[in-house]
């Protein structure tokens, strides 16, 4: 029923790769940040929290624009990498990952922060009086208790990356096979009045996202049920 | 005296300044109103209060000194929090194994099964904390703490958030624990009932400072402390229950300072009854050692308002319990019509609250021998 072109397939592949990589990296990097936000009494917390939430309110094009300046050959980061011989990050897959991570940051930090603040305080004190070192408590108490937070963070980040458009257009350009993701390919089809092509990619995104969400929520529910019995 | 502590905490709304030496056996109760600093002090001892400045030495181990502070998880203590704090993602068995597994085999001083049996947890092991009642949860929390083979047990108002049924569910276990395990306990409460049932040593805290401390009876009868001026003024007598001393008419005979007291057999806590006379079979208590004939110690609480004084032994009277005592002193009570009489019973002290008119009428004065008739006895 679907007749996908090689370009469609590569756009889908890049989309999935981008979503998986940026989600995994985000969870790894955001866990310590979320822990700090959940437990720190520092005054800097307010500022960091605001910074983390900034991608929620800024138009993706604004972020994409500044990121392009920063990561491009003349930007601070891009220029430095250029000097090292690595090459700048504008219009590259790595640039896309960075943009995507920034874009999904609040969607990962906030669920983790909530989970950590619930799994902190008293439970940690109990673990300590039961002879668990801080690291031991984190692995055996905090992580299991915040599993739902991790799942929520992962799902939100993944889904959010799938649908990203404006920022990717800015930072990644629209290079088929390298930085062209499904959402941009769909836009191209619509621009070219090829509604059949747009339908194909769009329906695949709808179905796969829906299936993914069902699987995750079902797993999560099952885990909850076994916990009670 | 083997717990020495010296703590200071300065906060905007609260100051703690406590120097104490506490005994290394029995139950020490930290008593005071809310805000008196008793929970904070307990948390200092556990090492949970990071802002605390001070010194803490337990037996020969230094737990805190200047900049050194032994991390909580390295202190050989058990802690029972006010609201039972079990790990919600683990069932009872795994909750109890949590601390147990983290103590090296060579350092374990209790058996896993022993604790399960002692606290009657056998049927609960597969349940999750959300499926337990408040009293059961607190029993499991106590089990978790005991399974770390602690050298010191800290309990922060373990019954404060329980209804009276749940309290009745756990109090006997605490009393049994006291008898069965040679484990020093520091227990925080503001309930007089728990004090009289559990305390051996009492520390009275007020506004973050120690107002007084000492053995229970001495504290309860100290004229300078607020205990005697309340309507609940009472004393706790140390008595002995002879295992053979249950009479044909269902009374049990106690001895206190060589004199006899009778109480209803039904009122005796089950763990004090000799095995063949247990009223109900109760599996987790069945292994309690039968008391020897030397008598097993039992605590008797006598309210000051339940004591009647007479200058000669009354004959035609239905009251069973009459002790020969000596008047120590007579003080005014908060109620202007009443006086509070302290009575010496051997080495122990009793209180009687009687009207001033009776004092005058009987001509009571210090050092006089009188008869104390006891209307009601609460057994602990």
B78 has a chain A CB within 8 A of its CB: yes
What average pLDDT does the segment B160-164 reach?
80
- Please answer whether residues B232 and B344 qualify as being in contact, where contact means their C-beta atoms are separated by less than 8 angstroms: no
Phi, psi of B378 (to 5 degrees): -105, 130
Partner residue opposite A131 with nearest CB, options B99, B128, B130 = B99
Q: What is the chain A residue with the closest CA to B46?
A: A129
Please give the pLDDT value at position B280: 33
Look-up: residue for tokens 């990097």?
Answer: A29
Over pLDDT 70: what percentage of chain A?
96
Kindly list the residues from chain B whose CB atom is less than 8 angstroms away from the CB atom of residue A40: none
Decide if A49 is inside a domain: yes
Phi, psi of A90 (to 5 degrees): -65, 145
Under an 8 A CB cutoff, do A127 and B98 touch? yes
Q: Give every CB contact of residue B140 below 8 A, 6+ residues apart in sequence.
A: B84, B86, B92, B95, B96, B119, B121, B124, B129, B132
What average pLDDT does the segment B187-216 reach?
92
Please give the pLDDT value at position B271: 60
In this prediction, residue B35 has a pLDDT band, given cuts at 50, 70 and 90, of: confident
pLDDT at residue A223 is higher than 70: no
Please give the pLDDT value at position B231: 78
Partner residue opposite B81 with nearest CB, options A122, A141, A144 = A122
User: Does B148 or B160 have the greater pLDDT score?
Assistant: B148
What is the per-residue pLDDT across A77-133, written as a single tens digit (0 to 9) for each? 888 888 888 888 888 899 999 999 999 999 999 999 999 988 878 889 999 999 999
pLDDT at residue B7 is higher than 50: yes
- Alpha-helical regions (H) of chain B: 38-46, 92-101, 112-118, 134-146, 164-180, 192-198, 216-220, 356-362
**Residue A105: which of A30, A1, A8, A42 has the closest Cα?**
A30
Please give the pLDDT value at position A126: 94
What is the per-residue pLDDT across B233-248, written as a single tens digit (0 to 9) for each? 889 999 988 766 677 8
pLDDT at residue A13 is higher than 70: yes
Helices A6-39 and A195-228: crossing angle, nearest 10°? 40
What average pLDDT does the segment B203-207 reach?
93
CA B340, CA B231: separation in Å to the nearest integer? 11
Kindly list the residues from chain B whose CB atom is less than 8 angstroms away from the CB atom of residue A228: 128, 130-131
Chain A: give the shortest CA distance to residue B79, in Å.
6
Min mean pLDDT across A154-158, B195-199, B293-297 is at B293-297
Q: What is the chain A residue with the closest CA to B152?
A: A129
- Please answer whether residues B339 and B279 qualify as being in contact, where contact means their C-beta atoms are separated by less than 8 angstroms: no
What average pLDDT does the segment B133-137 reach?
88
In this prediction, residue B270 has a pLDDT band, given cuts at 50, 70 and 90, of: low
Over pLDDT 90: what percentage of chain A?
48
CA A164, CA A104: separation in Å to the nearest integer? 9
CATH of the domain at A104: 1.10.3720.10
B79 has a chain A CB within 8 A of its CB: yes
Partner residue opposite B89 with nearest CB, options A132, A133, A144 = A144
Helices A147-162 and A93-118: crossing angle, nearest 10°? 150
Chain A: give the shortest CA distance to residue B111, in Å.
16
Please give the pLDDT value at position B124: 94
Under an 8 A CB cutoff, do A129 and B89 touch? no
Chain A: give the shortest CA distance to residue B150, in Å.
10
Longest pairwise C-alpha distance within chain A: 67
pLDDT at residue B323 is higher than 70: yes
Kindly list the residues from chain B whose CB atom is less than 8 angstroms away from the CB atom of residue A123: 85, 87
Instruction: State the burial class of residue A47 (Cβ atoms within 10 Å of its Cβ: 0-12, 13-18, 19+).
Output: exposed
In total, chain B counts a number of residues equal to 380
B198 has a chain A CB within 8 A of its CB: no
Read off the tokens for A127: 């673990």
Any idea where the domains of chain B sit in the sequence? 3-216, 234-379
Tell me if residue B236 falls in helix, strand or coil.
Answer: strand
Please give the pLDDT value at position A75: 86
Chain B: give the shortest CA distance to residue A131, in Å.
4
Min mean pLDDT across B18-22, B84-88, B172-176, B259-263 is at B172-176
Decide if A1 is inside a domain: no
Please give the pLDDT value at position B265: 79
CA atoms in the 13 A half-sphere facing the CB of B334: 10
Please give the pLDDT value at position B297: 84
Pairing of strands B53-58, B3-10: antiparallel
pLDDT at residue B370 is higher than 90: yes
B131 has a chain A CB within 8 A of its CB: yes
For chain A, the average pLDDT equals 88
B125 has a chain A CB within 8 A of its CB: no
In this prediction, residue B330 has a pLDDT band, given cuts at 50, 70 and 90, of: very high
Please give the pLDDT value at position B20: 93
User: Does B110 or B289 have the greater pLDDT score?
Assistant: B110
- Number of domains making up chain A: 1
Please give the pLDDT value at position B289: 40
Query: What is the ipTM score, two decimals?
Result: 0.81
CA B310, CA B317: separation in Å to the nearest integer? 12
Look-up: residue for tokens 């980040």?
Answer: A157
pLDDT at residue B278 is higher than 70: no
What average pLDDT does the segment A5-34 reach?
93
Chain A: give the shortest CA distance to residue B72, in Å.
6
For chain B, the average pLDDT equals 86
Please give the pLDDT value at position B357: 94
Q: How many helices (H) does chain A have, and how many strands (E)?
A: 12, 0
DSSP annotation of B289 = P
B73 has a chain A CB within 8 A of its CB: yes
What average pLDDT does the segment A176-202 reach?
90
CA A15, CA A10: separation in Å to the nearest integer? 8
B128 has a chain A CB within 8 A of its CB: yes
Under an 8 A CB cutoff, do A130 and B71 touch? no
pLDDT at residue A176 is higher than 80: yes
User: Does A28 or B315 have the greater pLDDT score?
Assistant: A28
Please give the pLDDT value at position B287: 36
Chain A: give the shortest CA distance to residue B147, in Å.
9
- Radius of gyration (Cα) for chain B, nearest Å? 23
Please give the pLDDT value at position A203: 93
Q: What is the chain B residue with the closest CA to A129?
A: B73
Choose, out of A130, A137, A141, the residue to mutate when testing the contact with B (most B CBs < 10 Å).
A130
- Please answer whether residues B231 and B305 qualify as being in contact, where contact means their C-beta atoms are separated by less than 8 angstroms: yes
Please give the pLDDT value at position B244: 66
DSSP codes, A42-98: -THHHHHHHHHHHHHHS-HHHHHHHHHHHHSTTSHHHHHHHHHTS---TTSHHHHHH
Please give the pLDDT value at position B292: 43
Please give the pLDDT value at position A32: 93
Under an 8 A CB cutoff, do B81 and A133 touch? no
Domain of residue A190, residue span: 6-228
User: Does B224 or A17 have the greater pLDDT score?
Assistant: A17
Tell me if residue B252 falls in helix, strand or coil.
Answer: strand
CA A104, CA B156: separation in Å to the nearest integer? 44
Choose, out of A118, A123, A129, A144, the residue to mutate when testing the contact with B (most B CBs < 10 Å).
A129
pLDDT at residue B279 is higher than 60: no
Phi, psi of A13 (to 5 degrees): -60, -45
CA A54, CA A45: separation in Å to the nearest integer? 14
Please give the pLDDT value at position A125: 92
Q: Containing H/E element for A102?
A: helix A93-118
For domain B234-379, give its CATH number from 2.40.110.20, 3.20.20.80, 1.10.150.120, 2.40.50.100. Answer: 2.40.50.100
Please give the pLDDT value at position B38: 93
Under an 8 A CB cutoff, do A123 and B87 touch? yes
DSSP annotation of B351 = E
Protein fold of B3-216: Rossmann fold (3.40.50)
**Residue B374: which of B273, B263, B269 has the closest Cα?**
B263
Read off the tokens for B267: 């009122």
Helices A76-84 and A60-71: crossing angle, nearest 10°? 40
**Residue B42: which of B205, B171, B212 has the closest Cα?**
B205
Under an 8 A CB cutoff, do A128 and B71 touch? yes
Cβ neighbour number for residue B35 with a 10 Å cutoff: 14
B51 has a chain A CB within 8 A of its CB: no
Chain A: give the shortest CA distance to residue B325, in Å.
48
Chain B: give the shortest CA distance to residue A223, in Å.
10
What average pLDDT does the segment B359-372 reach?
94
pLDDT at residue B281 is higher than 60: no
Under an 8 A CB cutoff, do A129 and B88 touch? no
List residues of A whose CB lies inside 8 A of any B CB. Answer: 122-123, 125-134, 136, 140-141, 144-145, 227-228
Q: What is the chain A residue with the closest CA to B73?
A: A131
Percentages (nearest 5) of helix, strand, coil residues in chain A: 80, 0, 20
């Amino acid at each position: 029923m679907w007749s996908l072109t090689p370009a469609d397939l590569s756009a889908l592949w890049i989309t999935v790769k981008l979503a998986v990589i940026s989600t995994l990296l985000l969870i790894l990097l955001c866990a310590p940040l979320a822990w700090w936000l959940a437990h720190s009494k520092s005054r800097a917390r307010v500022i960091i929290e605001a910074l983390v939430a900034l991608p929620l309110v800024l138009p993706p094009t604004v972020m994409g624009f500044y990121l392009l300046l920063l990561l491009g050959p003349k930007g601070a980061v891009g220029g430095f990498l250029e000097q090292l011989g690595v090459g700048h990050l504008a219009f590259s897959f790595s640039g896309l990952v960075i943009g995507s991570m920034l874009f999904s940051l609040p969607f990962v930090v906030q669920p983790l922060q909530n989970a950590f603040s619930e799994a902190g305080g008293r439970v940690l004190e109990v673990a300590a009086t039961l002879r668990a070192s801080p690291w031991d408590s984190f692995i055996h108490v905090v992580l299991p208790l915040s599993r739902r937070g991790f799942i929520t963070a992962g799902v939100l980040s993944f889904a959010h990356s799938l649908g990203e458009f404006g920022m990717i257009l800015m930072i990644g350009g629209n290079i088929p096979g390298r930085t062209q993701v499904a959402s941009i390919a769909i836009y191209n089809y619509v621009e070219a009045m090829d509604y059949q092509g747009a339908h194909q990619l769009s329906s695949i995104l709808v179905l796969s996202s829906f299936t993914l969400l069902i699987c995750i929520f079902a797993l999560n529910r099952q885990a909850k049920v076994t916990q009670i019995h | 005296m083997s717990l020495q502590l010296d703590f200071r905490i300065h906060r905007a709304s609260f100051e703690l300044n406590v120097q104490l030496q506490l005994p290394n056996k029995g139950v020490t109760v930290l008593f005071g109103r809310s805000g008196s600093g008793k929970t904070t002090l307990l948390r200092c001892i556990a090492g949970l209060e990071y802002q605390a400045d001070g010194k803490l030495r337990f037996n020969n181990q230094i737990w805190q000194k200047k900049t050194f502070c032994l991390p909580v998880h390295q202190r050989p203590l058990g802690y029972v929090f006010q609201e039972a704090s079990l790990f919600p993602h683990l069932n009872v068995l795994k909750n109890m194994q949590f601390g147990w597994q983290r103590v090296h085999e060579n350092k374990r001083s209790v058996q896993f099964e022993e604790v399960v049996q002692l606290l009657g947890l056998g049927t609960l092991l597969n349940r999750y904390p959300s499926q337990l009642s408040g009293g059961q949860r607190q029993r499991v929390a106590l089990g978790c703490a005991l399974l770390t083979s602690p050298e010191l047990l800290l309990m922060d108002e373990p019954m404060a958030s329980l209804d009276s049924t749940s309290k009745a569910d756990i109090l006997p276990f605490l009393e049994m624990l006291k008898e069965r395990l040679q484990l020093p306990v520091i227990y925080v409460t503001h309930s007089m009932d728990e004090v009289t049932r559990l305390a051996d040593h009492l520390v009275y805290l007020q506004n973050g400072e120690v107002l007084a401390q000492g053995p229970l009876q001495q504290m309860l009868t100290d004229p300078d402390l607020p205990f005697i001026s309340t309507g609940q003024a009472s004393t706790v007598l140390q008595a002995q229950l002879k295992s053979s001393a249950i009479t044909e008419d269902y009374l049990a005979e106690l001895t206190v300072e060589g004199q006899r007291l009778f109480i209803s057999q039904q009122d005796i806590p089950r763990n004090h009854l000799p095995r063949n006379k247990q009223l109900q079979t109760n599996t987790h208590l069945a292994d309690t050692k039968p008391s020897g004939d030397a008598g097993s110690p039992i605590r008797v609480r006598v309210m000051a308002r339940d004591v009647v004084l007479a200058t000669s032994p009354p004959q035609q009277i239905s009251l069973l319990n009459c002790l020969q005592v000596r008047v120590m002193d007579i003080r005014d009570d908060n109620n202007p019509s009443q006086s509070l009489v302290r009575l010496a019973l051997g080495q122990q002290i009793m209180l009687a609250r009687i009207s001033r008119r009776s004092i005058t009428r009987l001509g009571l004065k210090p050092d006089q021998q009188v008869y104390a008739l006891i209307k009601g006895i609460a057994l602990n």
